[in-house]
Structure 1
């Protein structure tokens, strides 16, 4: 989820406001995240309201008053204030307002994990892999015939008391349909978790699981190479045969045996 022009400027300003709202208070951050998800959901379904709140011809004071009338008794004061500030800003396209509020909700929920952000990143990745590799679960989450309440109940049945509350909240939000699939949403949320702590995410494919020492060495090498902390997502894939393949941002480092064999085959064929 990225923003351009006026929306990028508005989102940057709101992110600073959010930092002041949830700094050092995990419980507050969790509530703020949940309320922002609720508000963004309303704005997505209520096109008329969204148009009014992003209409530059409507006075900011009038829009802020409307926000307080609608959400004043449904969200904590800090969220109402944040949304009132958001509707006073210019947005490149109307839908960016709802997207920005959802993104702020993700950041608040990430911050609610406190010092467990590394665990949060791992859980989001592992749950994403579980959804990807379990057709029944993937179908259950994407089935339009199942209600959102039923899907959320399934999330809680599967992950309550097994994953962090922040992880459960983000998996539940992934069902909102903002992204193409639940898996794509979880990958975006993990990126957000990494960015909160100034990290990059690297997906590493190996034939067999890495030892803790090997993981640490690879983390150190990549962190030095990219000049920032790196969080590893390790995927065990016997198809690589040996070596490893690293994807970090747009960069791909392919040192797998399977890749070297493919290159040798192409050279022979040529």
Structure 2
């Protein structure tokens, strides 16, 4: 996904994060079900992404089809996507899939970084089990086998895994959207890893931190970001004093080096 579609997805992630976080697993299940409807109905996809239609008309299609059949949260997500611009109509479904995955990750995130780590581990364990058996690979991709049967087999491989892992694996097996199930599961792992980055502060300092400095920094970041972060501290003597902290896409930079670079950019015009 690139260009206009990429920009739309980025904005949707930002604007819808509170909805996805509060909706969690039930919302994700609804969004995955809606995705099947969207993927199976080309005229519907075109109607929700046609740039010649007004936003009100596209959103009206969503509300007339899904309103009252899904939760308000799911309707909000679908209407938001319909209001945005997409380069291809398939990009709408790709974005919906990614937002549903984000809702699953947000559900696991209720147990903090450990919850996200467990979800990623369970998904990777599934992929390892499938990768080690050609029989399983055939069984999970057999077009003659009932879809629900393939999903049930996939769930059995997970054993006592979390509801989040079971939902994602079942989605990958029953509705891979042109991919191998293990490849889609890998995409889900990448999405979970992206969420994990929000819990890790990548700290760069000019000199090693003393124990007291480490504790004060952790407390300051907790106040700034509203959660306990895992600090990953690296020392870079070229930083020329100060500190640089990155949490996900957010950067807090007070280094002399950064200020020098900013000055050089201004002088260069």
TM-score, shorter chain, exceeding 0.5: yes
Deviations 1:4-30 (A, max 9, x none): 11101110111113311133x4xx310
Q: What is aligned with 1:79?
A: 74
Tell me the distance in 2 between the aligned counterparts of 1:17 and 1:140: 40
Q: What is aligned with 1:127?
A: 126
Q: What is aligned with 1:47?
A: 42
Contact 2:127–2:185 (CA<8 Å) still a contact in 1? yes
Q: What is aligned with 2:257?
A: none
Q: Quote the offset at 1:179 in angstroms.
A: 4.8
Contact 1:17–1:82 (CA<8 Å) still a contact in 2? no
Q: Quote the offset at 1:83 in angstroms.
A: 0.9
Matched, 1:167 2:162: no
Q: What is aligned with 2:97?
A: 102
Give aligned pairs, total.
202
**What TM-score comes out, normalization by structure 2 length?**
0.70
Tell me the distance in 2 between the aligned counterparts of 1:156 and 1:177: 15
1:6 to 4, 11, 19: 4
Q: What is aligned with 1:58?
A: 53
Secondary structure of the residue that 1:56 maps to in structure 2? coil
Tell me the distance in 2 between the aligned counterparts of 1:165 and 1:74: 23
Q: What is aligned with 1:246?
A: none
Compare 151-160 and 121-130 and name the one that shifted more: 151-160
Deviations 1:31-54 (A, max 9, x none): 111111111211111001111111
Deviations 1:228-252 (A, max 9, x none): 89xxxxxxxxxxxxxxxxxxxxxxx
Contact 2:4–2:86 (CA<8 Å) still a contact in 1? yes
- Segments of 5+ residues of structure 1 without an aligned counterpart are 200-219, 230-270
Matched, 1:18 2:4: no
Secondary structure of the residue that 1:91 maps to in structure 2? coil
- Segments of 5+ residues of structure 2 without an aligned counterpart are 199-229, 236-244, 248-269
Q: Quote the offset at 1:187 in angstroms.
A: 1.0
